[in-house]
Amino acid sequence: FQLQASGGGLVQPGGSLRLSCTVSGFTRDYYAVGWFRQAPGKEREAVACIKTNDGNIRYTDSMKGRFTISRDNAKNTVYLQMNSLKPEDTAVYYCATAWLPRPISPCRTVEASYEYWGQGTQVTVSS
């Protein structure tokens, strides 16, 4: 079982990036994938989550508007589209998976809900 986050890099303020999280070897019929980030000297914070079965989505309030989470089940990949990036978006971005008790359970942007974590991808917003 593996989560592979990719797509990070250096981007100028106002630019965009799309991060990818590919999940392999995970045999559950439904689960949630969340994106989190950790800036230097700060605690890790949630960005958004999405369920693989029905596409239910939840964003941390401060992330609404500029960030969009989506999924491609055929590719076992979840994306995080980030627009109008700001220097304060600089962080290591992680994806993680969470078990869901029922197919209709919503995904949660609560770090403790997530069991498996990818290695992270660095996003640096700087001119």
Structure confidence at residue 27 (pLDDT)? 78
Task: Single out the residue of 40, 59, 57, 30 nearest to residue 123, CA to CA.
Answer: 40
Taking 90 as the threshold, does the pLDDT of residue 29 lie above it?
no
Cα–Cα distance for residue pair 56/3, rounded to 1 Å: 20
The pLDDT tens digits for 41-73 are 999 999 999 999 998 999 999 889 999 999 999
Structure confidence at residue 81 (pLDDT)? 98
Cα–Cα distance for residue pair 114/87, rounded to 1 Å: 27
Q: What band does 115 get if pLDDT is binned at 50, 70 and 90? A: very high
Taking 90 as the threshold, does the pLDDT of residue 1 lie above it?
no
DSSP 101: S
What count of other Cβ atoms lies within 10 Å of the Cβ of residue 14? Answer: 11
Task: Single out the residue of 28, 45, 27 nearest to residue 36, CA to CA.
Answer: 45
Question: Residues 116, 118, 120, CA angle at the centre, nearest 5°?
Answer: 145
Taking 80 as the threshold, does the pLDDT of residue 84 lie above it?
yes
> Pairing mode, if any, of strands 121-125 and 9-11?
parallel
Q: What band does 26 get if pLDDT is binned at 50, 70 and 90? A: confident
Taking 90 as the threshold, does the pLDDT of residue 25 lie above it?
no
Residue with structure tokens 């960030």?
67
